[in-house]
A and B are shown apart, each in its own frame.
Chain A
């Protein structure tokens, strides 16, 4: 029973490029959450999605960041025109319903050169 899967595990981008981070929730889970952990800091909520819907994006930066969770396939966190300050670990979590325990994936470590 595979857990939450994220890929790539490590991603290197130059300033101005786009980063696409993918998350496949645990089997049977339809709720996905994205969190960002900057170096030496705690995790910060970014966005909460259900299939084809963004439910809460209060933690997402207003520009350059977007997220989707299509009917088929993984959830995608997209960062356009990356800057050095975007370098962080991005964790995805999933749950089988709202309010239930969130299980985390291994994270994607983004490095912007």
Chain B
């Protein structure tokens, strides 16, 4: 079975600074996808960034980037130039790849990020 672990329950960062959220996972699959989702106080899940396991290049979306270490099964999220609107719960998630027949998410326990003014 797959597991996703986020070891930082809470973090804080000063506005405009950079913060890194950690995520590790365990799987025997070779084909899978990894995601970071943001859940603001409204509780709407918002996709931040996605990484396909077969891609060696780390994904980047504007101020958000990941450090994907497949051998170490690590998938951290770096937020640059933090903004007050980044304050939210962040979930790391795993999904099996094509051919698995199931495309359900397995979520980590989450990291609550607070951006300080």
Indicate, yes or no, whether A interacts with B. Answer: no
